[in-house]
Amino acid sequence: MANKELIQVLTTIVKPYVQDQDAFEHITEETDFINDLKINSAHLIDVVLDIEDHFDITIENEELEKMVSVGAAMALIAEKTK
Amino acid sequence: MVGNDIVDLTTSQVTAARKMRFVAKVFNAKERAFLAQGAYQSSDIWTLWAMKESCYKYVVQHGYAKRFNPLDFSCQVAKVGKAQVAINSNYYACSLYTTEAYVYCAIGEDRAITLGGHAVRTSEKAIMDSAELYDYAIRAIEQRYGYKQNSVEIKLDVNRIPRIYVDKQFQPIHLSLSHDGKFGAYLFSSL
């Protein structure tokens, strides 16, 4: 999946949990889920579950703390779907 | 140092299957055994979550720099009210408050918790947002310490820890804020 397409999928996944609409409208690979989008920690777990469902992958518990940004999520997804 | 977390139970409803996946992701074997004893009640799940999140906020104020990984924080809840979180062989006592509408956890010095340095507030709007919670916390700090009206500001530092300024001057009052759904809570230390 191309990066542009991947960002679009992630944008759809995170949308219900975002609390900063301005940051959401300018989402990039550098966008931080908590600091920029203001997604709370519990909803970050929801994002992880939604990513698992969409891509049919499993994100291991010890990989949770890697899920800090759009770019980090993209790298993890790319690694698990190649 | 202080740390707190509140969860609105009325907006945290999920399907049973998703609940179990959440449990498997964020709780260790002992925590899962505790939750199984209570048939995985939502209030139990969110109580343990609030304990972990509160402890994370507490240790971050001590300079603990890692990202929040819920599995780093081990919750222990005794049958008779006592609750604590362990991380790196350190134990942090939790004050827990549970109603039908929310669960709330506070970690910090006894004086802050017993002398009015914390409160749970219900939003006057559909949901509690940061601005409304900041306002409640600022009013409470002004009242508690006798600062004049509109002299207190809350600013986030580079680590996104809320800091207190009075007339633009930094004050060594530790503060933790949490909001979810209709509810918000603040907890601040004594000077």
**Structural domain range at position B90:** 2-188
Distance of CA B84 to the CA centre of its chain: 13
Give start and end residues of each alpha helix (H) in chain B: 16-26, 29-37, 42-61, 110-114, 130-145
Give the count of domains, chain B: 1
**pLDDT higher than threshold 80 for residue A60:** yes
Complex ipTM, two decimals?
0.85
C-alpha B49/C-alpha B103 separation (Å) is 10
Give pLDDT tens digits for B63-84: 775 677 899 999 998 766 689 9
Sign of the dihedral defined by the CA atoms of residues B67, B71, B72, B77, in that order:
positive
Residues of chain A found within 8 Å of residue B127, distances taken between Cβ atoms: none
For chain A, list the domains and their CATH numbers.
Answer: 3-80 (1.10.1200.10)
Instruction: Report the interhelical angle of A3-14 vs A70-81 (nearest 10°).
Output: 120
Q: Are B108 and B2 in contact (CB under 8 A)?
A: yes
Radius of gyration of chain A (CA): 11
How far off is chain A from B25, nearest CA to CA, in Å? 6
Tell me the average pLDDT across B89-98: 92
Rounded to the nearest angstrom, the minimum Cα separation between A65 and chain B is: 5
| Residue B132, pLDDT above cutoff 90 | yes
Write down the pLDDT at residue B160.
Answer: 85
pTM more than 0.95: no
Sign of the alpha-carbon torsion through A35, A41, A43, A44: positive
pLDDT in tens, A4-43: 889 999 999 999 999 888 899 999 999 999 889 989 888 8
| Contact (CB<8Å) A42/B7 | yes
**Domain of B50: which CATH number?**
3.90.470.20
Sequence-separated contacts (24+) of A32-35 with Cβ below 8 Å: A32/A68, A32/A69, A33/A67, A33/A68, A33/A69, A33/A70, A33/A73, A34/A68, A34/B160, A35/B160
Tokens coding A13: 């996944």
Model pLDDT, residue B32: 97
Q: pLDDT band at residue B115, thresholds of 50, 70 and 90?
A: low
Does pLDDT of B99 surpass 90?
yes
What confidence tens digit (pLDDT) does each residue in B6-31 have?
A: 999 998 677 888 999 999 999 999 99
Closest residue on chain A to B158 (Cα): A35
Give the number of other CB atoms < 10 A from CB of residue B140.
18
